[in-house]
Amino acid sequence: MTPTQRLITTLVILLAIVAGLYYYSTRPHGSIPSPISTSSPSASATATSTPNAGIKLETPDYNKPIVFSADISADIRAQLNAELATVQADLAKNPLSVKDWVNLGTLHKMGGDYSNAALYWEYLASSYSGTGVPYYSLGDLYQNFLHDYTKAEADYKLAIQTDPTNVNAYASLYTLYHYTLHDDTKAAAILTAGLAANPGNNYLLGLQQELQSQ
């Protein structure tokens, strides 16, 4: 990789991290999420195989290092590890921070450590009410990285159930139904539901027009 390519890749990663932080901090989430569990971190915790299965998960160890995939460059590893140290320090001060648990999963995902990303987001989904962010993050992880479409569908639906204004969840479900599962009946239905909850939304209207033109 040339120095220019390394610089571009590093900038892309940094922008993605900043965008994730901005997305979480600016999205309307309704009331402040209520913690269900306040147990101390434990390295022995494991993720449930079913998203939001009604099982309150033990708080996982947030100090785990990122298990990088082989294609992650040294420059990107250094950037992600620096961000990881900040998030871990923030969680040490406040282990009930929803934002930091979300970002913790995001950093592991960006490093190719999908199992730990799922672990943190599933813990968050099981232990807090009032936020659909971990469900949407899990849906994206299962749809686009782990290719478990049954779990992706379930998590997107939970994201919508928790926050009906999450337009991206409707759009992602549409993408899953239309492009991956080739079920245009469900694709049309999810757009109709999305527009009922978000009347006049241009993003969903555009997807609906796309579907109807095919």
Q: Is 43 exposed, middle or buried (0-12, 13-18, 19+ CB in 10 A)?
A: exposed
Distance (Å, whole) CA 192 – CA 186: 10
Return the higher-pLDDT residue of 36 and 113: 113
User: How does residue 2 score in pLDDT terms, banded at 50, 70 and 90?
Assistant: low
Neighbours of 198 (CB within 10 A): 17
Tokens 């600016």, located at residue: 26
Q: Do residues 126 and 57 lie in contact, with contact meaning Cβ atoms separated by under 8 Å?
A: yes
Say which residues have a Cβ less than 8 Å from residue 80's Cβ, sequence separation at least 6. Answer: 13, 66, 68, 72, 107, 110, 111
Burial class, 112, CB count within 10 angstroms (exposed 0-12 / middle 13-18 / buried 19+) = middle
Could you tell me which residues come within 8 angstroms of residue 203 by beta carbon, excluding any fewer than 6 positions away?
A: 167, 171
- The answer to whether the beta carbons of residues 167 and 204 sit under 8 Å apart is yes
Inform me whether the pLDDT recorded for 76 exceeds 90. Answer: yes
Q: Helix/strand/coil (H, E, C) string of 54-104?
A: CCCCCCECCCCCCCCCCCCCHHHHHHHHHHHHHHHHHHHHCCCCHHHHHHH
**From CA 13, how far away is CA 152, in angstroms rounded?**
24
Say which residues have a Cβ less than 8 Å from residue 168's Cβ, sequence separation at least 6: 136
Measured distance CA(155)–CA(22) in Å, rounded: 22
Q: Which residues pair with 42 in a beta bridge?
A: 60
- The answer, yes or no, to whether residue 213 has pLDDT greater than 90, is yes
pTM of the model: 0.75
Residue 160 has pLDDT above 70, yes or no: yes
Residue 56's pLDDT is 63
Q: pLDDT by residue (tens digit) across 87-136?
A: 999 999 999 999 999 999 999 999 999 999 999 999 999 988 788 999 99
Q: Whole-angstrom distance between the N-terminal and C-terminal Cα of the chain? A: 41
